[in-house]
Amino acid sequence: MLPNPAKLISYRQEADFRSGLIHVRENAESIFLAHREDRLKARLLRRIESFVVNFRKITSVNRNVGFFTTGYNWLIQIIPALIVAPSFIAGQLNSA
């Protein structure tokens, strides 16, 4: 059985983004007094961008896995019929 590819993609970006938000919330007053808003804003924007890129990768992998499994489920039903159909049409097989 193959592992789920979405689980192979790291969720570290989301964790980094959440920890950054918690840091800002817990230290909002000292950040304001030290005039570090711009630096933390830039850091959070980079983290959210990384998070969005990672989320798109996960979505893409899940989409591709869905396409593969849907196609495979259709093929396992159609291929046997395509193999037997010529013999049945030629009259070499009896219908049951």
Instruction: List the Cα angle 70/76/82 in 5-degree steps.
Output: 125
For residue 36, give the amino acid letter: R
Tell me the pTM. Answer: 0.59
CA pseudo-torsion sign 21, 24, 26, 28? negative
* Distance in angstroms (rounded) separating the CA atoms of residues 83 and 67: 24
- pLDDT in the model for residue 70: 94
Which pLDDT band, with edges at 50, 70 and 90, does 95 fall under?
A: low
Q: How far apart are CA 54 and CA 37, in angstroms?
A: 25
- pLDDT tens per residue, range 57-91: 888 988 999 999 999 999 999 998 888 888 888 88
Residue 18: the pLDDT is: 85
pLDDT of residue 3: 57
Torsion of CA 7, 13, 17, 22, to 10 degrees: 60
CA 7/CA 5 separation, integer angstroms: 5
Q: Residue 63 has what pLDDT?
A: 93
3 versus 29: the higher-pLDDT residue is 29
